């Protein structure tokens, strides 16, 4: 039986018996993994399609909850779509507001110190509610929740690698079909000849310059004003589109000639739509992976410029 040591016992073991301390750390990691597995797969939790199927047959619907970030919410949708396709159950999506946001190494974030606030919820709800597999989307009050989509934050799922779109699927026991679209909107046809961009302060590849995009006349930016001011220094003629909500953003991306973005919220929308999209991949954290047709990603400048040239010229999709 494994026994956890207190802080003084750990320090003493570390200094008195280095080999035993390494063994203890290995056993501690295994213990934490087992505790996490027990927490996630408790008998009352809906952690497989069989459990979910039995639950919805009895209760007739499914209530899920997520506290963000916004991109994480979008990446939870393909798993919910798959549940709906298999069970046919109405899915009610609740947004939990005010969960603290902890950042490291960045000056700011659009949400300040929380993952979702009321303004962000108001922007998200029209997009989520418009999806055929979502029965409703609203801010969580006191409703009973059947699946808490925040469980992927609870333990040992490695959040700095893999694919964000699979995080929620692991705790629900669902295999999402990530090569298929999971967002559907009416495209805004005013942008069919336009390159649309979205680039946050976080997750940038600092070896990349977008100055070569000056040669393309129709470029718009979707994002917050400080991000726009930053990209305008590099591409002076870029236009800023300030959207009313994320349904409008999705329609613009859906209608665009192509979308360029880094590992931030707008790219999650482009990924869900499966439009022609180009991902600026961060060297520090790689947890966004374009899957399915029309997806491209890059690390280096030559690759980026070649992708854009071929896409604009109609050589690739």
Total domain count, the chain: 2
Cis peptide before 69 (omega within 30 of 0): yes
Identify whether 96 is part of a domain.
Answer: yes
Pair 173, 151: CB distance under 8 Å: no
If you average pLDDT over residues 207-226, what whole number do you get? Answer: 96
Instruction: For residue 192, report the phi and psi dihedrals to the nearest 5 degrees.
Output: -65, -25
Do 135 and 85 share a domain, yes or no? yes
Identify whether 130 is part of a domain.
Answer: yes
Identify whether 250 is part of a domain.
Answer: yes
How are strands ordered across the β-sheet holding 258-262?
Answer: 239-240, 219-221, 195-198, 258-262, 277-280, 295-298
Whole-structure pTM value: 0.83
167-186 pLDDT per residue, tens: 889 888 999 999 999 999 99
Do 248 and 293 share a domain, yes or no? yes
Pair 266, 258: CB distance under 8 Å: no
Do 97 and 168 share a domain, yes or no? yes
Do 165 and 203 share a domain, yes or no? no
How much is the pLDDT for 31? Answer: 53
pLDDT, the chain, mean: 88
| Kind and range of the H or E run holding 13 | helix 7-16
Do 152 and 63 share a domain, yes or no? yes
185-200 pLDDT per residue, tens: 999 999 999 999 999 9
Q: Which neighbouring-strand residues pair with 147?
A: 64
Please identify, among 111, 137, 172, the residue that sits at the C-terminal boundary of a domain. Answer: 172
> Maximum distance among all alpha carbons in the chain?
71
3-class state of residue 240 by DSSP: strand
Q: Percentage of the chain surpassing pLDDT 90?
A: 68
User: At 203, which CATH number?
Assistant: 3.40.50.2000
**How many CA within 13 A on the CB side of residue 217?**
1
7 pLDDT more than 90: no
Angle between helices 265-273 and 246-255 (to 10 degrees): 60
Pair 190, 220: CB distance under 8 Å: no
C-alpha distances in angstroms, 194 versus 8, 12, 186, 248, 269? 62, 64, 16, 16, 17
Do 106 and 197 share a domain, yes or no? no
257-295 pLDDT per residue, tens: 999 999 999 999 999 999 999 999 998 889 899 999 999
Lowest pLDDT segment from 109-113, 139-143, 200-204, 298-302? 109-113
Do 195 and 299 share a domain, yes or no? yes
How much is the pLDDT for 68? Answer: 81
Do 275 and 301 share a domain, yes or no? yes
Do 53 and 91 share a domain, yes or no? yes
C-alpha distances in angstroms, 125 versus 64, 77, 84, 116, 219? 14, 13, 19, 12, 27
Do 211 and 110 share a domain, yes or no? no
Q: Which residue has the higher pLDDT, 29 or 213?
A: 213
Identify whether 100 is part of a domain.
Answer: yes
Identify whether 20 is part of a domain.
Answer: no
How much is the pLDDT for 114? Answer: 74
**What are 140's two structure tokens?**
């969580």
Do 277 and 236 share a domain, yes or no? yes
Q: What does the H/E/C string look like for 258-312?
A: EEEEECCHHHHHHHHHCCCEEEECCCCCCCCCCCCCCEEEECCHHHHHHHHHHHH
Do 61 and 131 share a domain, yes or no? yes
Q: Which among 230, 229, 55, 74 has a CA at the least distance from the CA of 137?
A: 74
Residue in this structure with the two tokens 């505790």, named with its chain if needed: 35
Task: Give Cβ neighbours of residue 180 (< 8 Å, ≥ 6 apart).
Answer: 78, 274, 292
Please identify, among 172, 198, 231, the residue that sits at the C-terminal boundary of a domain. Answer: 172
CA-CA distance, 114 to 309, in Å (whole number)?
A: 39
Task: Give Cβ neighbours of residue 8 (< 8 Å, ≥ 6 apart).
Answer: none
Identify whether 6 is part of a domain.
Answer: no
- DSSP line for 164-209: HHHHHHHHHT----TTS--------GGGTT-EEEE--SSS--TT--
Identify whether 106 is part of a domain.
Answer: yes
Range of the domain at 219: 189-312
Identify whether 3 is part of a domain.
Answer: no
Please identify, among 172, 198, 229, the residue that sits at the C-terminal boundary of a domain. Answer: 172
């Amino acid at each position: 039986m494994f026994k956890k040591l207190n802080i003084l016992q750990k320090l003493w073991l570390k200094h008195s018996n280095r080999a035993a301390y390494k063994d203890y750390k290995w056993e501690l990691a295994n213990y934490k993994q087992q505790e996490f597995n027990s927490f996630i797969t408790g008998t009352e939790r809906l952690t497989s399609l069989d459990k979910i199927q039995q639950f919805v047959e009895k209760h007739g619907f499914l209530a899920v909850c997520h506290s963000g970030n916004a991109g994480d919410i979008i990446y939870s949708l393909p798993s919910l779509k798959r549940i709906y396709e298999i069970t046919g159950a109405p899915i009610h999506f609740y947004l939990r507001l005010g969960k603290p946001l902890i950042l490291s190494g960045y000056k700011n974030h659009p949400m300040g110190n929380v993952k979702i606030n009321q303004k962000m919820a108001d922007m998200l709800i029209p997009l989520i509610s418009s999806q055929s597999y979502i029965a409703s989307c609203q801010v969580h009050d006191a409703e009973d929740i059947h699946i808490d989509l925040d469980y992927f934050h609870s333990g040992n799922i490695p959040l700095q690698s893999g694919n964000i779109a699979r995080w929620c699927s692991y705790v629900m026991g669902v295999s999402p079909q990530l090569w298929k679209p999971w967002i559907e909107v009416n495209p805004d046809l005013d942008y069919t000849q336009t390159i649309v961009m979205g680039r946050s302060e976080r997750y940038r590849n600092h070896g990349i310059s977008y100055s070569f995009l000056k040669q393309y006349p129709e470029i718009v930016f979707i994002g917050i004003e400080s991000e726009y001011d930053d990209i305008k220094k590099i591409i002076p003629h870029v236009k800023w589109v300030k959207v009313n909500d994320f349904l409008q953003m999705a329609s613009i991306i859906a209608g665009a000639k192509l979308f360029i973005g880094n590992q931030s919220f707008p790219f999650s929308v482009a990924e869900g739509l499966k439009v022609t999209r180009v991902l600026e991949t961060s060297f520090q954290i790689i947890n966004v992976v374009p899957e399915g047709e029309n997806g491209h990603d890059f690390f280096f400048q030559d690759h980026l410029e070649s992708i854009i040239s071929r896409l604009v010229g109609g050589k690739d999709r």
